[in-house]
Structure 1
Amino acid sequence: MNLDDVDVKILKILQADGRTALSEIARRLDMGTATIHERVNSLEEDGYIRDYRAVLDADLLGLDHVAFIRVNTEAGHFSEVAERLAEETAIQEIHELTGDADLLLKVRVSDRSGLTDLLSRIGKYDAVRSTATDVALRNVKEEQRLDISNDG
């Protein structure tokens, strides 16, 4: 599916507030609600919209310790390690990398002991050779929104 200007506008509105009513989107775009409903359904079916969720405040919830962990694995095992790491709820992101490390993890925990426990578990995984951890001192910017346009 190729996105047109209307699709991009719909995505921008829903990304800013996923609770925006379809009738409100239709009003903003000067279109019929049924048309907007069909377009949103197509965007969902084609995978452009994967989920609707609330963005929670990690600090208020006590999950204010952020760390980035670089993981080195035995040759050829980084994907299987990544799949197993995906089961760890404290890990928010897992990226397979080029360069010095095989994987980069972003984790959120409530305190240093939570980080220590997580690192201990990761270190015991089969095929994990080593880890290196950077603890974030301050969050300057953390954004989930994508900068979308109709460029393709």
Structure 2
Amino acid sequence: MSEPTHPAADIDDVDRSILKILQSDGRTALSEIARRLDMGSATIHERVRTLEEHGFIREYRAVLDPELLGIDEVAFVNVEANPGRFAEVGERIAEHRSVQEVHELTGAADLLVKVRVRGREGLSDFLSTLGEYDGVQKTSTNVALRTVKEESRLDLNGDD
């Protein structure tokens, strides 16, 4: 029996080039991508549609500046959940509008939660709410003093 292939094996260099362009600027017109790659617009349109259908492109959105919007308090919360409940607790935490990321972990904590709120009062309110969630045993919080790098773009070259 052969090993299943990784989905990334299903895309070629042209698809990777399309993804790089769209990741850099999701508003890039398909005709502009076709021009840059010296290909037909219909071909690029079909490739982008296929990439969307297969989930390589999840969504198109604007990246907002949280500081200009006053949503400038960033914290990372380690959460210990009751035994056997970390997945359930993680799903519940993920529903909170201020939560940007939830990761299941190995080690002392079960979950790592990234939250972005308006000021310390917003953080205090969030932590109070989190502490009341059924299944949350313990939390510890690290507040970011300054963000040096925050990136959602993926390295499609595999370079370091």
Which range, TM-score by smaller chain? over 0.9
> SS in structure 2 opposite 1:129?
strand
Q: Percent identity over the alignment?
A: 66
Partner of residue 87 from structure 1, selected from 76, 92, 95: 95
Name 2:59's counterpart in structure 1: 51
Contact 1:65 1:109 in 2 (8 A): yes
Partner SS state of residue 11, structure 2: coil
Q: Which has the higher contact order (CA 8 A, sep 6+)?
A: 1
After superposition, the CA RMSD in angstroms is: 1.2
Asked whether the equivalents of residues 3 and 150 of structure 1 are also in contact (C-alpha less than 8 Å), the reply is no
Query: Is the partner of 1:71 in helix, strand or coil?
Result: strand
TM-score (norm 2): 0.92
Q: 1:76 aligns with which of 75, 84, 87?
A: 84
TM-score where L is the length of structure 1: 0.97
Counterpart of 1:130 in 2: which secondary structure?
A: strand
* Number of the residue aligned with 2:142: 134
Q: How many corresponding residue pairs?
A: 151
* Distance of aligned partners of 1:47 and 1:142 in 2 relative to their CA distance in 1, 3 Å threshold: same
5+ residue gaps, structure 2, are: 1-6
Contact 1:73 1:127 (8 Å CA) reproduced: yes
Structure 1 runs (4+) greater than 3 angstroms displaced: none
Distance of 1:69 and 1:146 partners within structure 2: 24
1:47-103 Cα offsets, whole Å, 9 max, x none, are 000000000000000011100000000000000001111110111000000001000
Long gaps (5+) in structure 1: none
